[in-house]
């Protein structure tokens, strides 16, 4: 039976935990939307959030970096971890405070969902750099949040997700099960994005990441995230659920990317993503 969309939207908006995006995430997103943002500014934002600063220092002092001297300042941690990498890790850790995937129902791997979101975010930024987007970090954030609707389902609507999993367990493709039950994750994610008053580039991409609309002002960003999602699913990073059929050619034409560039991005991902994903998992589980 299909879920009443108006009722579902009201229920989502009443979830106290989703009433507002964490302040630290807002601040990081605002900084990353500005191409002039420096490592110093990023460090100052992180310093002002005790929990996140602790996680960043813990990561910087982990076995990943094998340093002879202990890292005791956020400025040094930014240098050690890397500016671009820390952008992604920090926002992902901030959002993970809201979307606690341990609440996901049995049979659903919430960490795999986060792994997919992080991988798509990384890939979107890589493609944005290739096509010379003015602010690649803005595209990165759009990629991180593209499956916001699935995060809502996994952590806030376990009964609805259980119904989805029941259908997929009987052989129904995931996107068809969403349609049959009125639980399309791009729509659910879009509702929350509007509730949070996210920038239009992010809310639009969340809604359109499976079917970019040429009429939208952020069509190019949606196309980049669409391609990033397809590459990551082909590589098998994180949760891989069948997407609606879609032609790749319009997105390639809009971005002017070619197959050789996509293959090179995939090759680079195989070399760099596993370590980044492990680091993110360490960040969100550290005290």
How many other β-carbons are positioned within 10 Å of the β-carbon of residue 7? Answer: 10
Element (H, E) at 80: helix 74-81
With CA atoms as reference, report the closest residue to 142 among 195, 202, 83: 202
How do residues 19-51 score in pLDDT, each as one tens digit? 677 788 888 888 887 778 888 888 899 998 888
> Is the pLDDT reported for residue 287 higher than 60?
no
pLDDT band at 2 (very low <50, low <70, confident <90, very high): low
How do residues 214-270 score in pLDDT, each as one tens digit? 999 999 999 999 999 999 999 998 888 888 888 999 999 999 999 999 999 999 999
For 95-114, what is the mean pLDDT? 82
- Matching CATH number, 5-18+101-285, of 3.20.20.220, 2.40.420.20, 1.10.3210.10, 3.30.1330.60: 1.10.3210.10
Average per-residue pLDDT for the chain:
88
Percent of the chain at pLDDT > 90 equals 44
- Please give the Cα distance from 147 to 95 (Å, whole number): 12
pLDDT for 92: 87
- Rounded to a whole number of angstroms, the CA Rg of the chain reads 18
> If you write DSSP's letter for every residue of 144-207 in order, what string do you get?
HTTTHHHHHHHHH-HHHHHHHHHHHHTT--HHHHHHHHT--HHHHHHHHHHHTT--HHHHHHHH
pLDDT for 148: 93
- Please give the Cα distance from 226 to 129 (Å, whole number): 16
287 CB-contact burial (10 Å; exposed 0-12 / middle 13-18 / buried 19+): exposed
For the entire predicted model, the pTM comes to 0.90
What residue segments make up the domains of the chain, in order of their start? 5-18+101-285, 22-97
> Is the pLDDT reported for residue 1 higher than 60?
no
Asked if residue 136 lies in contact with residue 125, where contact means CB atoms within 8 angstroms, the answer is yes
């Amino acid at each position: 039976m299909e879920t009443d969309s108006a009722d579902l939207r009201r229920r989502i908006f009443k979830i106290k935990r989703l009433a507002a995006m964490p302040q630290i995430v807002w601040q990081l997103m605002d900084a990353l939307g500005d191409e002039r943002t420096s490592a110093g500014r990023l460090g100052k934002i992180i310093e002002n959030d005790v929990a996140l600063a602790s996680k960043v220092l813990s990561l910087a002092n982990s076995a990943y970096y094998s340093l002879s001297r202990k890292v005791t300042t956020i400025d040094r941690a930014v240098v050690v971890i890397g500016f671009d990498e820390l952008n992604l890790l920090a926002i992902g850790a901030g959002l993970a405070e809201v979307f606690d995937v341990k609440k996901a129902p049995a049979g659903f791997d919430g960490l795999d969902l986060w792994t997919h979101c992080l991988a798509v975010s990384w890939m979107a930024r890589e493609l944005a750099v290739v096509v010379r987007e003015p602010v690649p970090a803005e595209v990165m954030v759009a990629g991180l949040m593209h499956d916001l609707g699935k995060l809502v389902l996994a952590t806030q609507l376990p009964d609805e997700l259980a119904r989805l999993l029941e259908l997929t367990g009987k052989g129904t493709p995931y996107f068809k099960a969403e349609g049959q039950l009125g639980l399309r994750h791009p729509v659910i994610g879009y509702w929350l994005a509007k509730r949070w008053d996210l920038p239009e580039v992010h809310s639009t991409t969340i809604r359109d990441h499976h079917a970019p609309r040429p009429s939208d002002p952020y069509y190019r960003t949606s196309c980049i995230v669409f391609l990033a999602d397809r590459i990551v699913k082909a590589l098998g990073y994180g949760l891989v659920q069948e997407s609606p059929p879609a032609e790749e050619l319009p997105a390639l034409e809009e971005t002017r990317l070619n197959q050789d560039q996509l293959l090179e991005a995939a090759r680079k991902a195989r070399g760099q993503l596993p370590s980044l994903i492990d680091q993110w998992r360490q960040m969100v589980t550290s005290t």
